[in-house]
Amino acid sequence: MCHETRSGPPAPSANFTERSAHGALKLVVVLLLLLSGCAGGHVSQGVKYSGKNTKYYTPLPIPVHEEKLMGMLETISALLGTGYTYGGTSVAGFDCSGFVQYVYRSAFGASLPRTSRELSNWGRKVSRSGLRRGDLVFFRIKGSRIDHVGIYIDNDLFVHASSSRGVTIGNLNNRYYERHFARATRLLEVRDRAR
């Protein structure tokens, strides 16, 4: 099970103004593309608006090459055994969505939503039989709402931050995970190096 907290606005830093200006420029570009009709194939989930604060997420799909997927596996391998921390987003300890967010940021430079529920509405839904490495798998552990997420690896295996075991490997064929499985989504688009 994954206990999560929503993170508040980022703490002010020395380059806060620079980041704000950069973020405002991104917003203007996206709005111009939408108004001009040039954004037909762009997934609008790359930008999310939340009240007074505007938070920018990486546009989807995230283009990656096979080497990046191998880098993702190396990142995950180094994190196996890391302890669970409620609301954790670092190597000091992770919760489930903090783990996913950390891996995607480290391996792909991507900025993702913070909670498993928010993440579950992101990307393209895929069937369980169509899962590929890097896809996100979601579960309903405590009730009808999605409250747990992991990263699919291969052969029905996924990696997640378990509240009892920390970062560990799970199997989708395990009765427990079969019973609680909710959906899967794909955020990545794997591209050949030749292109």
The string of pLDDT tens digits covering residues 57-69 is 999 999 999 999 9
Here the tokens at position 48 are 């999310």
Q: Is 38 one of the annotated active-site residues of the chain?
A: no
Q: What does the alpha-carbon distance between residue 168 and residue 162 come to, in Å, rounded to a whole number? A: 7
- Please report which confidence band the pLDDT of residue 2 belongs to, taking 50, 70 and 90 as the band edges: low
Phi and psi dihedrals of 39, rounded to 5?
Answer: -100, 30
The string of pLDDT tens digits covering residues 5-56 is 333 333 334 443 344 434 444 443 333 333 333 333 333 344 343 334 446 8
Q: What does the alpha-carbon distance between residue 139 and residue 1 come to, in Å, rounded to a whole number? A: 9
Q: Is 2 one of the annotated active-site residues of the chain?
A: no
Q: Is the pTM of this model over 0.85?
A: no
3-state secondary structure of 78: helix
Angle (CA) 30 35 39, round 5° = 55
From the candidates 42, 65, 160, 180, which is the catalytic residue? 160
Give me the domains of the chain, ranges plus CATH numbers.
Answer: 16-56 (no CATH), 62-191 (3.90.1720.10)
DSSP code of 77? H
Q: Is 160 one of the annotated active-site residues of the chain?
A: yes
From the candidates 38, 65, 148, 180, which is the catalytic residue? 148
Phi and psi dihedrals of 27, rounded to 5?
Answer: -60, -45
